[in-house]
Amino acid sequence: MSTMSTGLMSEEKGQRAGGAVLGPKWDGYDTFTVPEAGEILRVSRWAAYAAAKAGTLPVVWIGKRCIVPRYALEKLLGA
């Protein structure tokens, strides 16, 4: 069975086939909104904002906008 298009987790590397940690939907994104990060982490919007406020979800504030850098999210996921 080919793992190229299935998105199955590689047992040896602990990440998606092809090396994509976040999946193809998020290719080209360098930052995410808190709700997008919640979607990636498979938690509710409320839980994502609570994690950002608690400091467990790394965020950067630019004015009134709160964003999640891709590298920080990948690091959180163990990439």
Q: What does the pLDDT look like over 63-79, one tens digit per residue?
A: 999 999 999 999 988 86
Q: What does the pLDDT look like over 7-60, one tens digit per residue?
A: 444 444 444 444 467 888 888 999 999 999 999 999 999 999 999 999 999 999
Domain ranges of the chain: 30-76
What is the pTM for the complete model shown? Answer: 0.70
- Give yes or no for a contact between 70 and 29, defined as CB atoms under 8 angstroms apart: yes
CATH number of 30-76: 1.10.1330, 3.30.1330, 3.40.50, 3.90.105? 3.90.105
Minimal CA–CA distance to 30: which of 62, 56, 64, 63? Answer: 62
